Structure 1
């Protein structure tokens, strides 16, 4: 601690020596404020000490009375403390809020030193997995004597309602002159600890949320000394009962006498241990272990355990469900350091289950140092068997192994698939020998790793000249974890093959790897090593890199073999030359590593970087001038860092794929890394005709540890700066798939500071003469300026402004063009965004902004609004009005592709699932008094306004009215005057209400069309003044007069109009018109003449040509019909899009048979027989 202290003391020289004093301290301990205030009062013979202290949020008060010259001076102690959080004082400690109260006093008589109640409470209990302490309160009665420190009536109240109650005591080591006989004999050095505790209602899930919920109750008795420890448990864990006794004694080894014993028994289900039953006999010492082991051992142990009905899932939920029965006996010797020197272990799994499958086994294992003189194991785990028998570790030993695992998934732990192995291992660790055959199919491994196939074969003989053989093959190695779309990720490796053979002193290794195909091409690697392990030396492989070849997207090939040494203290690679691509060359002139010194020296040239995507058939798209890189490096790492590495452009350019392929016009690309002492600096310089210039530099200091290794700790300070100057943004517009044009210049300056783990960045971006144009839509923003400032906390949009002059005059002369465009339009925006929360607040305004600038689509817009954001949402509130506008569209809609047509390369993005970014919008739009529309024959001015709202989970809605002011509609060569035109929005945007009336004016009968209802269900009817029948109304609209019943010319004009205005045949006005003209049926619409499909025309009157099954004359077809008799029908068809005409007479001979005679464009006589199926 650091701070300021003060003290004062006054002592009277006359009995009882009155005493008065005070002391204080104020300062800092680590990061916590400290304040202590203490007073000393009464007399020297019986002083009283009072103190108050705070440490951060923790506080304490102490009141103590002392008899200075008594054998036990402390007579009274009061303690009150609170606000204690262990996490505030130790990193990684659990959190809580503890308070402590104690009221202790010395008994008037007896051997007691202090006695009284102690209480501890925790205001914030929490489970351990939540970083808390699952303790609510602790209470006890302290009884402190010279021979014993005891806590009586102990009660722990745990989270979840559980309790632990009982007594805990500690007997200190006995002193040489100790005479106390009432206390148990204490052991020298450590003393003796004794506990007797009752457990009740303990919820394991409340202790740690990762544990399955079990209720624990029972009793625990324990004694522990320096030489002997014993424990007895009687617990109920859920429905299972566990009874156990254990003891351990440790004394200097003196074989063959037993020096340690331990026993444990666990019973599950309904089995219980009788209280007070005699402890099981202590097993005999490990007399079957070598005598030499006993003589050198410091301690020996024996362990016997019995488990019945144990379910691992009761401990961890991710473990497989099981019922384990286990008998275990172990004995052995430990070294002075506590390491096992000799162990003999016997176990039996008599009748257990794993995930409902049988689990059985037995075994015996003896270990002596690094040798296993005896092993015999036979396990059956859920149908997977493992057998091992023999010895290993000495010359002549042999250990046989066999694995048959057809159902690895039943074991759990992330395993799956099928595997098997058979082999033998012998010899010693220094000179092993043996053989092993291994296979696996559809394997699943821990860590979500999957492997479709695995085969391995190993043969190894003893000695440096003993031959060995290795063959390993695998297929489809990857991850089982699936992406957000549910699809499995690509494999890491498609296949791998490793083969090795020879002797330890001289052998060869070949490896072939292949990745899955990317853009139709698989990357491959072929590697070959030749060499050996010299005899009598530390493990070090010496040989040569015989072959190295990379195929696929990045081809490379080793030109000549290179020497190679691999060892624990040295790695050295000789001179290497690699051919990369068509013209690339990589040279590794010097590559070496040792614990004290590493050297990297080399260069490369002509390395082509292809950024062009490949064709669909996998062939690369050739770039006429691809980017070619060169590099040089010369680095040494030892007591200091020294050297330089450079990567630079030799020639060529980078092409960026977009709507139009765009080249950056690179003139310079260079990155330089410098190392001097402990400092590392990096500089980057990129320049191009299109890109402009990008420059940056960064630096830091590395640290060399005590082990000689260099590192960059997370707390390392960094510094850096970058500058960008892009003289034109036009090249970015060419990357868009839309007809987008960008203009302007961007400049930026950036700095980086802070540390690796906590960097601090700041900078500024400026844009001038910015422009944005959507050519097809006529959207044009020009004269833009941008100023953005940012740091590690927020981004500030100081100014975004477009001052855009009008450049196009609309075709509509009624617009007050000169007045509105006398000064340029303007758009401004400003605001800021917090980077930690995404909270943003922006304001934007527009004043006569020329949003659309085409002579047929022209609009000036004014208004403004605000936008507030977080990382999960955006709230938009705006109000706009159209100062003036003219929108002109074609008389007919342009052709478009059907929804089921997909253009390759422009596939629509998959629809995103809900629950993502939430948008709330409230936008009001006023149409002003100068917005004119010319579309599909409609000429009018639009007025009114809408309030458009968008809310998460709801369709876009609108409230308001759009009204047509004057104007008319031109259809069928006539001009209709718009008497009324109202479109009312009161809900979803795609279902407004309609109230439209258009009349042909200036005639004796003013007739027209009235449209009501909604856009989804419009209701159309004919209206007139004065009222006349519907056919007459239609005639006045189309012909400007009453109809002539006998005129075929009138019929040809009125029927298409009726069909276009009021739909096809089948009731209503069209049926009325048909009757008035004397026909039984008529129809008009899309179709073809002779719509009955025939595979071959009649040979009686026809020419015999084949007629396709499709339409013969497509387009608008007028059809008139008249029934001449019960079975005779005459039909006339006229193509409105050409000169095709057809007269058809049909005679119904019977229910199924009819005769059809045709004349006109297609002359034929057909017999038609019909079938029907039910």
Structure 2
């Protein structure tokens, strides 16, 4: 007993003071937190840190009132950010279980909600809110409230909240004001919300007032059509909302008005019921007196095992302005109508039947057109006890009668649905869809029927849609015609995927046409669609059929589909194209779709070419299958071959696709071309196709392996692109391989050999014959080992000196042209060496040129450098070819109103050249009275696109005949010092063998020549002219002086010759007998006198001629000594036969036949 007393004494001595001390410390700590600013600051910061937040700018204490500059809290799924937070309360009433807050306010409150992935389990039983204390907030104020959900802000803003709250056993919210903002309108709300009990069914009384103001003309608050009212007044509205009752039975009254609009609505709701509406009455009145009313009433029947409620309603409109009511959202319209509906609901969820009636009066208008019509229909939905839901398969419609008239347009749908014999008919004649809705273009004519049940129905429809002109044939503007005939049903248990529910049917016919295009089924096609199929099941299927695709120009493409199906991201399809005839009309019909109007020349080469095609493709993550196109018959003609064909034996393209790993497929393509004339071509390629988002394609980085092999490939096909003036022939044998990707780089290997190469330029007389080619490709370098053409002497030149040298010189017949070099593909650079040895570049009857030398071509595009030197081994040019160039008569002048446009070069080459051309010792110029050799060399240079020349060409002996006289070329120098078309001239020709050797001297430049008379010895100008033209001195009597001066002025004036100005074609002085028939033989074959001379003045005569059309020529011959005169009329009957009629000193008629035999 003493020990127990001792223990209690020690416990009280030491323990009681300790407890008292702890209580004192706790009380002091609470007092420090509540009553001091430092304590309040420390407590708030500690709480914020525990919630991953922060607190700033704390003023005051909790007991007397605290102000917080910013408070940030981070809770699971919620982030809170408050600014200028104020909290003042009467905390002494806590002892009375009442929380009394004088003020709770903030200038801005931001709440960010995020999805945490956790769902709160639903609460069972009625919801009851049991507050342990009473709550009273005298002032609840918020300047701005911002709420975001997963970073997306709400489309409305909340500002200026002023309210007070009181809650205990009941709750009351007095809303002084709150502003709700939106892009379309602003609203200010005030009122009171009172909950009589904080538990379901939440009995309440609510009274709210709303004042709204629209933003802009597009706001639904703004009634733009109101006449005579300012815009600001038309954009304001007021409304009052009153709620009384509970969630079990709630009476709602809504009244609102705006300038020109009034609405009164009352309704009874049961918000906890499956169908909440009990009854409703809505009345709407507009400023113009138009109105609309809606009355809905629910008759409840809860006495039976199955609850059936009947919902009936009536709708009336009297001159209701729809455009005014919608604020312009719909086209303008005035509606006068009566309508009603009657629905039987089962268990307040499913309709058992529905009756609908609508009568639109004739006074109605829509979009500026008179509107009238009716809508009558009854629908029944039988109940399925097994499914405890309506059996939609047995849904029926009867008495359907829809007839609408809008202006001249008519739309009707009448009949029934749901029985095997039921049928509805559609008839639409809509001349302008814009009458029904302004943005709809075109017109529609449609007729059709649909009938049967959901499980077995049929439909037939014919429609015509015209966008604009009904007679147009332009793609995108022409009318579209369509005819469809199908039958099928919704359900399961048959055909494709019998365990799944879906639509299965047969498309018996389909015919669609537009602007010459069309599609028509040739036989019925089965179709199935299962919307509920899983990813591992086929969802749709299209059966085998034949489809004819119509093309312009009455052409067609016929496809035979063997079937297709798909589901999810996988599909399969197979088919073929039989006997596709590639003729001119078919190809042009396809090209016309791309607006190609000009017919390609290559179309004329097709000779009844017929192709077959086939495909069998499947896709399941990766593409697989086979595609092929093969020739059945037909051929291709050679360009310029006179109708000769290439002799096609094989033509085919195949593509094999093998699925690999993941989404990749291995693709192998092959091209085979076999021809009797062109030889054979084999091309192969393989790569990897990758599927991205279900679409197969070629990745730019995918590796491609390709190979090309040819066997005696004829190059005649190149003439298709070379033009008429050039021909290319020969045979190529190639074996090439390539590896790379679309993004690069490429590795090329292989070789190309050619034989029997032939390049002909007809106009230039250039013919490269019997050529051979040896070419290699190594990576990006093309190595031309040799392109060699041997010299082939095709033409023997008429000029005897050139002809003698090339026929008697042994080495002249062993010439060649050889080209070798390298070319880099990556940077378009390389070098070429051209070697010529005794090679006849030009071989024509009027010109001939054989050269030897070397030419180097170095290029790094766009820069090209050409250097080298060539020497003419033999050459000849006939000046007679100049007379064959067509010219206009002097009295014809070509005039134009504007200069021809200057066309810039499009090749973009920067070409430079330094080429020496040496005419050698055997180059001759003959014809038009000239017979001379040419020597010397030219240095041709090009820089900055300008061609220039330097060097001198000299005549070597020779003669010149003019005006019936033969002049010897004593000196002839043509010096080039710049432009090719303006060299310096230094030419002298003399008439030899006379006492006075007279002649002509030409100096100056080619563009400004100076022609003067010279003589040795030097005599007067008249004597020089007389010795030059007549071969004697002037007549002492002066009779021929005038003629000599006129001829001399014409010859040396530099202007138009005198005889040309007189309209004559030729004037000259000839020797011999006047009036001869133009025979090639001499007048006499035996000498009658030893000293005879045809050049004496007694045998000379002046000749003037004029050529007319059709080979007719008039010639007048006047003797220089005496009065002899002969007029001759000549006519060429054929190329060799001519007729001459002569009158005067010599009279007669002659026929002359000419034939010249060459050696």
TM value normalised by structure 1: 0.50
Offset at residue 1004 of structure 1 (A)? 1.1
| Residue of structure 2 aligned with 1:605, choices 570, 579, 583 | 579
Instruction: Sort the Cα spacing of 1:280 and 1:841 in 2 relative to 1 into closer, same or farther, 3 A.
Output: farther
Could you say which residue in structure 1 is the equivalent of 2:540? 570
Q: Does 1:697 align with 2:656?
A: no
Could you say which residue in structure 2 is the equivalent of 1:825? 816
| Residue of structure 2 aligned with 1:682, choices 669, 682, 686 | 669
The 5-angstrom pairing of residues 925-944 of structure 1 reads 925-930=916-921, 931-944=923-936
What is the distance in 1 between the residues matched to 2:237 and 2:738? Answer: 62
Secondary structure at 1:991's aligned position in 2? coil
Secondary structure at 1:862's aligned position in 2? strand
Offset at residue 774 of structure 1 (A)? 3.2
What is the distance in 2 between the residues matched to 1:1025 and 1:888? Answer: 31
Q: Does 1:994 align with 2:994?
A: no
* Conservation of the 8 A alpha-carbon contact between 2:157 and 2:180: no
The 5-angstrom pairing of residues 585-604 of structure 1 reads 586=558, 588-595=560-567, 596-604=570-578
| Residue of structure 1 aligned with 2:634, choices 647, 652, 660 | 652
* Conservation of the 8 A alpha-carbon contact between 1:744 and 1:770: yes
Offset at residue 757 of structure 1 (A)? 5.0
* Conservation of the 8 A alpha-carbon contact between 2:913 and 2:940: yes
What is the distance in 1 between the residues matched to 2:372 and 2:1126? Answer: 90
The 5-angstrom pairing of residues 107-506 of structure 1 reads 174-175=51-52, 181=58, 184-189=70-75, 225-227=110-112, 249-250=146-147, 260-261=157-158, 283-284=186-187, 465=424, 467=426, 469=428, 500-502=446-448, 505-506=459-460
| Residue of structure 2 aligned with 1:508, choices 462, 478, 484 | 462
Task: Show CA shifts across 1:914-949 (max 9, x none).
Answer: 565234232333323322222422222222333334
How many residue pairs get matched?
741
What is the distance in 2 between the residues matched to 1:172 and 1:1042? Answer: 135
Instruction: Sort the Cα spacing of 1:281 and 1:1042 in 2 relative to 1 into closer, same or farther, 3 A.
Output: same
* Conservation of the 8 A alpha-carbon contact between 1:1007 and 1:1022: yes
Q: Does 1:751 align with 2:747?
A: no
Task: Show CA shifts across 1:511-543 (max 9, x none).
Answer: 89999899xxx9999864334796899799963
Task: Show CA shifts across 1:658-692 (max 9, x none).
Answer: 48555222121122333444444322211112221
What is the distance in 1 between the residues matched to 2:604 and 2:1061? Answer: 63
Q: Does 1:529 align with 2:516?
A: no
Instruction: Sort the Cα spacing of 1:572 and 1:558 in 2 relative to 1 into closer, same or farther, 3 A.
Output: same
Q: Does 1:948 align with 2:940?
A: yes
Secondary structure at 1:663's aligned position in 2? coil
What is the distance in 2 between the residues matched to 1:797 and 1:1034? Answer: 63
Instruction: Sort the Cα spacing of 1:758 and 1:1042 in 2 relative to 1 into closer, same or farther, 3 A.
Output: same
Instruction: Sort the Cα spacing of 1:782 and 1:194 in 2 relative to 1 into closer, same or farther, 3 A.
Output: farther
Task: Show CA shifts across 1:435-462 (max 9, x none).
Answer: 9999xxxxxxxxxxxxxxxxx9996869
* Conservation of the 8 A alpha-carbon contact between 2:666 and 2:688: yes
What is the distance in 1 between the residues matched to 2:990 and 2:746? Answer: 71
Instruction: Sort the Cα spacing of 1:1039 and 1:252 in 2 relative to 1 into closer, same or farther, 3 A.
Output: closer
Instruction: Sort the Cα spacing of 1:937 and 1:860 in 2 relative to 1 into closer, same or farther, 3 A.
Output: same
Q: Does 1:1017 align with 2:976?
A: no
Offset at residue 977 of structure 1 (A)? 1.2
Q: Does 1:724 align with 2:707?
A: no
Mean Cα deviation higher: 570-579 or 977-986: 570-579
Offset at residue 1003 of structure 1 (A)? 0.9
What is the distance in 2 between the residues matched to 1:389 and 1:397? Answer: 16
What is the distance in 2 between the residues matched to 1:173 and 1:1052? Answer: 131
Task: Show CA shifts across 1:328-357 (max 9, x none).
Answer: 9999xxxxxxxxxxxxxx999xxxxxxxxx
Instruction: Sort the Cα spacing of 1:618 and 1:625 in 2 relative to 1 into closer, same or farther, 3 A.
Output: closer
The 5-angstrom pairing of residues 823-862 of structure 1 reads 823-835=814-826, 837-854=827-844, 857-862=847-852
Instruction: Sort the Cα spacing of 1:1116 and 1:1049 in 2 relative to 1 into closer, same or farther, 3 A.
Output: farther
Q: Does 1:543 align with 2:507?
A: yes
Offset at residue 838 of structure 1 (A)? 3.1
* Conservation of the 8 A alpha-carbon contact between 1:661 and 1:734: no
What is the distance in 2 between the residues matched to 1:401 and 1:551? Answer: 36
Offset at residue 1000 of structure 1 (A)? 1.1
Could you say which residue in structure 2 is the equivalent of 1:670? 652
Unaligned ranges ≥5, structure 2 = 1-37, 59-67, 84-106, 115-141, 161-176, 192-209, 218-231, 239-256, 260-319, 342-355, 378-391, 418-423, 434-440, 451-458, 492-500, 532-538, 590-596, 660-664, 893-899, 1068-1107, 1119-1124, 1132-1139, 1145-1159
Instruction: Sort the Cα spacing of 1:281 and 1:700 in 2 relative to 1 into closer, same or farther, 3 A.
Output: closer
Could you say which residue in structure 2 is the equivalent of 1:762? 748
Instruction: Sort the Cα spacing of 1:848 and 1:604 in 2 relative to 1 into closer, same or farther, 3 A.
Output: same
What is the distance in 2 between the residues matched to 1:891 and 1:259? Answer: 93
What is the distance in 2 between the residues matched to 1:281 and 1:624? Answer: 77
Could you say which residue in structure 1 is the equivalent of 2:765? 778
| Residue of structure 2 aligned with 1:893, choices 866, 869, 883 | 883
What is the distance in 2 between the residues matched to 1:1059 and 1:380? Answer: 95
What is the distance in 2 between the residues matched to 1:302 and 1:544? Answer: 62
What is the distance in 2 between the residues matched to 1:842 and 1:514? Answer: 62
Unaligned ranges ≥5, structure 1 = 1-110, 112-144, 149-170, 196-221, 230-244, 264-277, 289-300, 309-324, 332-345, 349-372, 405-419, 439-455, 475-494, 902-908, 1072-1080, 1089-1109, 1121-1131, 1144-1174
Mean Cα deviation higher: 689-698 or 579-588: 579-588
TM value normalised by structure 2: 0.50
Which of the two has higher C-alpha Rg? Answer: 2
Instruction: Sort the Cα spacing of 1:376 and 1:1037 in 2 relative to 1 into closer, same or farther, 3 A.
Output: same
Offset at residue 183 of structure 1 (A)? 6.5
* Conservation of the 8 A alpha-carbon contact between 1:498 and 1:511: yes
What is the distance in 2 between the residues matched to 1:645 and 1:750? Answer: 25
Could you say which residue in structure 2 is the equivalent of 1:813? 801
| Residue of structure 1 aligned with 2:1024, choices 1024, 1033, 1042 | 1033
Secondary structure at 2:1026's aligned position in 1? helix
Secondary structure at 1:893's aligned position in 2? helix
What is the distance in 1 between the residues matched to 2:327 and 2:934? Answer: 85
Instruction: Sort the Cα spacing of 1:983 and 1:655 in 2 relative to 1 into closer, same or farther, 3 A.
Output: same
What is the distance in 1 between the residues matched to 2:512 and 2:109? Answer: 64
Instruction: Sort the Cα spacing of 1:466 and 1:793 in 2 relative to 1 into closer, same or farther, 3 A.
Output: farther
What is the distance in 2 between the residues matched to 1:1083 and 1:303? Answer: 103
What is the distance in 2 between the residues matched to 1:748 and 1:422? Answer: 78
Offset at residue 796 of structure 1 (A)? 4.1
The 5-angstrom pairing of residues 881-920 of structure 1 reads 881-890=871-880, 893-896=883-886, 912-914=903-905, 917-920=908-911
Secondary structure at 1:1041's aligned position in 2? coil
Offset at residue 695 of structure 1 (A)? 0.9
What is the distance in 2 between the residues matched to 1:736 and 1:549? Answer: 41
Secondary structure at 2:74's aligned position in 1? coil
Task: Show CA shifts across 1:985-1004 (max 9, x none).
Answer: 33332233322221111211
What is the distance in 2 between the residues matched to 1:599 and 1:572? Answer: 9
Instruction: Sort the Cα spacing of 1:613 and 1:713 in 2 relative to 1 into closer, same or farther, 3 A.
Output: closer
Could you say which residue in structure 1 is the equivalent of 2:973? 982
Secondary structure at 1:626's aligned position in 2? strand
CA RMSD of aligned residues (A): 6.8
Could you say which residue in structure 2 is the equivalent of 1:1007? 998
Q: Does 1:863 align with 2:837?
A: no
Task: Show CA shifts across 1:8-46 (max 9, x none).
Answer: xxxxxxxxxxxxxxxxxxxxxxxxxxxxxxxxxxxxxxx
Secondary structure at 1:750's aligned position in 2? strand
